[in-house]
Amino acid sequence: MTAPVYLVDASIYIFQAHFSPHQQVWSRRSEDRSAFTGFARFLLRFLQTTKPEKLALAFDESLFTGFRHQLYADYKSNRVLPDENLALQLSACARLCGVLGLAAYGSHHYEADDIIGTLSTCVAREQNAPVVIVTRDKDLSQLLQRDEDYLWDFTGGLRRYRQDIFQQYGIWPEQFPCFLGLTGDSIDCIPGVPGIGPVAARHLLQHFNDLDGLFPQLDAVPALGFRGARRCRDLLALHQEQALLSRKLATIVSCDDASERFVVADSDALRAGIIDGSAFAALLDEMALADGDVQRLQTMLHALLKKQAA
Question: What local confidence, expressed as pLDDT, does residue 165 receive?
Answer: 96
The CA angle 231-235-240, to the nearest 5 degrees, is 150
Nearest to 120 by CA among 298, 263, 22, 283: 263
Question: What local confidence, expressed as pLDDT, does residue 1 receive?
Answer: 61
Question: What local confidence, expressed as pLDDT, does residue 2 receive?
Answer: 85
**What's the predicted TM-score (pTM) here?**
0.95
In angstroms, the Cα distances linking 149 to 2, 140, 154, 157, 163 are: 13, 12, 15, 16, 11
Question: What local confidence, expressed as pLDDT, does residue 55 receive?
Answer: 98
d(Cα 83, Cα 133) in Å, to the nearest integer?
28
**In the sheet that 131-134 helps form, which strands lie side by side, from edge to edge?**
103-105, 54-58, 5-9, 131-134, 150-153, 158-160
Please, what are the averages of pLDDT over each run of 10 residues along the chain (310 residues)? 92 93 90 97 97 97 91 94 94 98 97 97 89 95 95 94 95 97 96 96 97 97 92 96 98 96 95 97 97 97 90
Determine the 3-state secondary structure of 144 from DSSP. Answer: coil
